[in-house]
Structure 1
């Protein structure tokens, strides 16, 4: 992600130790899914149906949908 623009998103759900907001590459927003490395796995989030509100300027909201382990 070096040199790539990042944007703050809000995270809903997931492990309690993840921050409530997180910086992700802007290019990932169009996919509607993000994967965050955490511990020995990845936490998966999808864009909430009402997650992007251009009028209020609020950051997009991504909702936790599950976890996968890092393959060994």
Structure 2
């Protein structure tokens, strides 16, 4: 399944935003910099050239504990 991550901090790379996942979990956590970016699934989807894409929106950022 293809998903698209939207929102997040400035500089969050576009190549991190398009993802392939095995299942549509309610949340996705992506390691970025010194922490994690958290995204939650929405009811939105978009039609792309190679199929539908489910949209996840950014909700929070957490730091990696040292």
TM-score, normalization by structure 2: 0.72
* Residues 52 and 16 of structure 1: CA distance in aligned 2, closer, same or farther (over 3 Å): same
Structure with the larger RCO, 1 or 2 (CA within 8 Å, 6+ apart): 2
Moved over 2 A (4+): none
| Consecutive unaligned residues in structure 1, runs of 5 or more | 1-6
Q: How does 1:11-50 map to 2 (within 5 A)?
A: 11-18=5-12, 19=14, 21-27=17-23, 29=24, 31-48=25-42, 50=43
TM-score, normalization by structure 1: 0.67
Question: Which has the larger share of strand?
Answer: 2
